[in-house]
Amino acid sequence: MAIKKKTDQVNLIDTFKDFKETKNIDRTTLVSVLEDSFRSVLQKTYGSDENFDVIVNPDKGDFEIYRNRTVVADGEVKNPNTEISLSEAQKIDDDYEIGEEVSEKVHFDDFGRRAILTLRQTMASKILDLEHDNLYNKYVEKVGQIVTAEVYQIWKREVLLLDDEGNELLLPKSEQIPTDFFRKREPARAVVLRVDNQNNNPKIILSRTAPEFLQRLLENEVPEINDGLITIRKIARIPGERAKIAVESYNERIDPVGACVGVKGSRIHGIVRELHNENIDVINFTSNTKLFIQRALAPAHVSSIVLNEEDKKAEVYLQPDQVSLAIGKNGQNIKLASMLTGYTIDVFRELDGNEPTEEDIYLDEFKDEVDEWIIDAIKAIGLDTAKSVLNAPREMLIEKADLEEATVDELLKTLRAEFED
């Protein structure tokens, strides 16, 4: 039996050392956790822990427990946990008298293996809760900031990374740039998107597609942004493909676009490499909505703009050779311009002044020749007349109305025929 007690005591000391050496918890908190764990076991064993003194020394890996009881006359002990008979007290020391307090050292080994196992489990649970709290508090303050971590495991739907303290960070597939390629044990950078904390089990979610990632990269490369001389007003991204950034400076001597791009693109090149050659356009922000939309549609040259402030819509008119530039590859340029400005942008070819004017026709007049669902799809993007459809770029009709190319071509053929006749 003595050997078992010694083994149990060693196990407890090993437990202390394990917590002390491997857990990133300050000494005061550790002592408090260990004391609470002991008191939890004492309460289950004796029904109360109020009359116990628990002294924990995690530095040495030892502890002492004392039970305090009041001396009462023989035969008057009502609660053996808080009271001790005079005869029992005098076995400890002949000088004890009724009403005095007896303090006895409690040997935790005597509680049995089950109590010791319970203690270890309680300590482990409390330590785990503390670690989760610390992890949550640490990363909830880092939301929106860039972190660098080591790639630990690569799965189909997400990548697991470890920070310097071994904490797990998750980079879901949906938050990865389509051309991202990771190797185990290599560092990767991402922005902390959010911290989920369901059932006190924090999950740190990273992102490389969020606009904040591009913003933080730019802040790291451009000192004028950190100094407050340049402000990033808005970012729109199609991750891995193209991005537009609106910047502003309150100092007339500073060119915000030039400062962000750098001499010969020196500042922007590092960011482009990090984002796998994502094409980045930097433009000057302005509160003039028409001018802002015009700049956002660069490199296209806009002839005129008609705004609908209430519906946040903009009709943009361009020369025929500028339309494709405004729309961009796969509609990226016009999509990003809309995201950046907050306006739904429709582009139209500007007709030459020498062209004869013709009376327009509402689309509903073509219901005998065109399926109604096609007309409804076109009207849903703000085009109500035949000429407005004919003046709109074919690519825009396909993308925004979500129609097949053959359907759009047949529609345009029908509408043209009406005016040719």
Q: How many CB atoms lie within 10 A of CB 113?
A: 12
Domains (ranges, CATH) in the chain?
A: 2-136 (3.30.1480.10), 146-209 (2.40.50.140), 212-349 (3.30.300.20), 363-420 (1.10.150)
Q: How far apart are CA 85 and CA 83, in angstroms?
A: 7
Compute the CA torsion angle 249, 250, 253, 256 (nearest 10 deg).
Answer: 0
Give the model's confidence band at 357: pLDDT under 50 very low, under 70 low, under 90 confident, else very high: very low
Give the model confidence (pLDDT) of 148-162 as tens digits: 999 999 999 999 999
Q: How far apart are CA 164 and CA 252, in angstroms?
A: 43
The pLDDT, as a whole number, for residue 47 is 85
Give the model's confidence band at 361: pLDDT under 50 very low, under 70 low, under 90 confident, else very high: confident
Q: How far is CA 42 from CA 36, 46, 115, in A?
A: 10, 6, 9
Question: What's the average model confidence in pLDDT over 255-276?
Answer: 91
**Could you identify the residue written with the tokens 């009359």?**
51
The pLDDT, as a whole number, for residue 286 is 92
Question: What's the average model confidence in pLDDT over 355-369?
Answer: 71
> Long-range contact list for 353-358, CB < 8 A, 24+ apart?
358/387, 358/419
The pLDDT, as a whole number, for residue 60 is 67
DSSP conformation class of 300: S
The per-residue b/e assignment along 16-45, b for 16 or more CB within 10 angstroms, e otherwise, is: beebbeebebeeeebbebbbebbbbbbeeb
- Distant-in-sequence, close-in-space partners of 161: CB < 8 Å, separation ≥ 6: 149, 150, 151, 152, 168, 169, 170, 171, 188, 190, 206
Residue 15 has pLDDT above 60, yes or no: no
Residue 4 has pLDDT above 50, yes or no: no
308: part of which helix (H) or strand (E)? strand 304-308
pTM surpassing 0.85? no
Give the model's confidence band at 141: pLDDT under 50 very low, under 70 low, under 90 confident, else very high: very high
Q: Of 309, 277, 278, 274, which is closest to residue 293 (Cα–Cα)?
A: 309
The pLDDT, as a whole number, for residue 354 is 43
Question: What's the average model confidence in pLDDT over 234-245?
Answer: 95
Give the range with max mean pLDDT: 124-133, 292-301, 359-368: 292-301
205 three-state secondary structure: strand
